[in-house]
Amino acid sequence: MARKEMAVDSVAEAYLTLLAERGVEYLFANAGTDFAPLVEAFAKAARTGTPVPKPVLATHENLALSMAHGWAMVTGRVPAVMLHVSVGTANGVCGVFNAARDNMPMLFTAGRSPLTETGLPGARDVYIHWAQEMFDQAGMVRELVKWDYELRNGEQLETVIDRALALAGSDPKGPVYLSLPREVLAEPLPAFAYDQPARRVAAAPPGPGVDAINEVGRMLAAAENPLIITASAGREPAAVAALADLAQRFALPVVQHRPRHLSLPADHPCHLGYDASPYLDDADVILVLECDVPWVPSLKAPRPQCRVVHLGVDPLFQRYPIRGFACDLAVTAAPAAALPALTAAIGRYAPQDKIAARRQWLARTREMQHAGWRKTRENAAGLRPIHMAWASACIADVKPEDAILVNEYTLMPEYCGSNLPGSYFGSSPASGLGWGGGAALGAKLAAPNQLVIATLGDGSHLFGNPVALHHAAAAHDLPVLFVIMNNSMWGAVRRATQGMYPQGEAMRSNKPPLIDLDQLPAFEQVCAAAGGYGERVEDPAALPAALERALRAVTVERRQALLNVICRGP
């Protein structure tokens, strides 16, 4: 344990130094007048060679937060974000919502309008400093963050930053919010002393209680038709091998419902796809593993007598106002620790004959499932406009095994399975659109030697502010392949209307309102305008070669690429 001292001119300088010391590598930022002390501190650090986080400029707040999200999901570490006071925070709400519901750790900061009207260094000196102040700036995000605070002086800096980082990085992980008034950042701080390493660290992940794990083990071992449903078990990559081992030993079928993190390799013999509904009628014990919505009860639910266990770092999803899935046993535990313990526990009870029979059933079921997918793929191959199953299959054919797929909406994983931990990321359960492109840039920043492919709908892409996105990809040298599956509509709105009013006026009309996106810009030209490669693809037969050209641009020419794939509607 060592106490370090340094001479600094301002709290801003101490703040940046401390972030770097605590391992914060990047500060994703969208700046304003509140940043002046930080801009000054960054410039001084560049001259003196003092280590500070690397500033990454994003010209929209949602982009800054999505990039931080993407970086955190790949590294498992805590990034920092800084936005401009109240208005920047307002633009960041959707991004922080996504991060919160996806349990992404993040130090989300924003300036505050200067508090004082005159006198102190940093006091108000611009017109906007009056109107931008709010009574409760943090109130905009308080429901979404684990903790919020305002830095009030330099003396408290170490405690505040350590506490922020420790809370963000403790399970269930998530964003924390810190506001940084300009006078405080500008305050002189003649000497700054801090502990290195930190003396306030994140809590170790929750371990499973022995009794609870034994009980789950007994239930699964006694089950005739057990089923595991997961969305995010693979948030910690170590959990993937643990789940693979558990499933393999006891022939436990696993469904990845609305996958957000690859949890089980797609080619695993127990992987039963992405929709649990065909298996719910027979299931007698279901393990809901890091999964907020394992099924949609108004459409299909397990039988009432089916016993249900929920396991995860926050198995009851405490921040969801309503979530009423049956829960006979809830176990708070990180999957990477709980799954090996569960494997050991089931081993004590599991009857071998049942396991052998289930293994055969799994093989048969998977064979039928894959035959169905093959058929759909074959039927889709020639369709024009291009079918999303075909587009997904074409991506599967060209992507290297270790490519990172960031999917906002449109990729169909049935036709483009991923096998390696950390190689697939889907949208946050909050589904605040405009995440995928930025998250892909953050992923590329975290894994510069891996190919990153973002699959986006035309709607999602537009929410992601394409001009800002392509600018960031170029400015930060992040060559990502964007595949826009463009059906020229908000298909989700159409599906929702059709679901509620199948025979209604809207479905009878040729052009129901608020669904079609007419006159869309040529997305490929927007990418090209930022120096990237862009191509529009209408012919399904031309898609494989177009993907090869785009991949060449990304991997050989090292520039971003975008394919605007004209797809059919839902």
Q: Which residues bind ligand TPP (CB under 6 A)?
A: 94, 409-410, 431-433, 457-460, 463, 487, 489-493
Nearer to ligand TPP, 308 or 388 (CB): 388
Q: For every residue of 233-285, which 3-state class applies, written as one string?
A: HHHCCHHHHHHHHHHHHHCCCEEECCCCECCCCCCCCCECCCCCHHHHCCCCE
Burial (CB count <10 Å: 0-12, 13-18, 19+), residue 570: exposed
Residue 104 Cβ, how far from ligand TPP at the closest point, in Å?
17
Residue 440 Cβ, how far from ligand TPP at the closest point, in Å?
15
Task: Report the interhelical angle of 436-446 vs 61-75 (nearest 10°).
Answer: 50
Residue number of the CB atom closest to ligand TPP: 457
- Give the separation between CA 402 and CA 400, rounded to whole angstroms: 6
Nearer to ligand TPP, 15 or 463 (CB): 463
Return the structure tokens found at 124.
Answer: 């108000």
Q: ω into residue 429 within 30 of 0, thus cis?
A: no
Return the structure tokens found at 93.
Answer: 């709400």
406 in Cβ contact with 425 (< 8 Å): yes
Q: How many other CB atoms sit within 10 Å of the CB of residue 358?
A: 20
What DSSP element (H or E) covers 491?
Answer: helix 491-500
Nearer to ligand TPP, 288 or 489 (CB): 489
DSSP-derived letter for residue 450 is S
Residue 494 Cβ, how far from ligand TPP at the closest point, in Å?
7
Residue 489 Cβ, how far from ligand TPP at the closest point, in Å?
5
181-202 burial, b if ≥16 CB within 10 A, otherwise e? bbbbbbbebeebebeeebeeeb
Nearer to ligand TPP, 355 or 467 (CB): 467
Nearer to ligand TPP, 62 or 256 (CB): 62
358 in Cβ contact with 262 (< 8 Å): no
- Give the separation between CA 416 and CA 439, rounded to whole angstroms: 19
Residue 98 Cβ, how far from ligand TPP at the closest point, in Å?
9
Nearer to ligand TPP, 376 or 431 (CB): 431
Phi, psi of 236 (to 5 degrees): -95, 115
Coil, helix or strand for 513?
A: coil
Nearer to ligand TPP, 28 or 523 (CB): 523
Beta bridge partners of 16: none
Nearer to ligand TPP, 388 or 472 (CB): 388
Residue 207 Cβ, how far from ligand TPP at the closest point, in Å?
36
Among residues 479, 417, 397, 396, the alpha carbon closest in space to that of 444 is found at: 479
Residue 548 Cβ, how far from ligand TPP at the closest point, in Å?
25
DSSP string, 143-174: TTSS-EEE---STTHHHHHHHHHHHHTSSSP-
Nearer to ligand TPP, 285 or 411 (CB): 411
Q: Strands across the sheet with 424-426, in order?
A: 424-426, 404-408, 452-457, 481-486, 561-566, 533-537
Residue 388 Cβ, how far from ligand TPP at the closest point, in Å?
8
Residue 492 Cβ, how far from ligand TPP at the closest point, in Å?
3
Residue 28 Cβ, how far from ligand TPP at the closest point, in Å?
19
Among residues 24, 64, 7, the alpha carbon closest in space to that of 476 is found at: 64
Nearer to ligand TPP, 82 or 411 (CB): 411
Nearer to ligand TPP, 258 or 559 (CB): 258
Residue 184 Cβ, how far from ligand TPP at the closest point, in Å?
33
Among residues 247, 237, 266, the alpha carbon closest in space to that of 412 is found at: 266
Burial (CB count <10 Å: 0-12, 13-18, 19+), residue 215: middle
Nearer to ligand TPP, 279 or 415 (CB): 415
- Give the separation between CA 77 and CA 23, rounded to whole angstroms: 9
Residue 502 Cβ, how far from ligand TPP at the closest point, in Å?
18
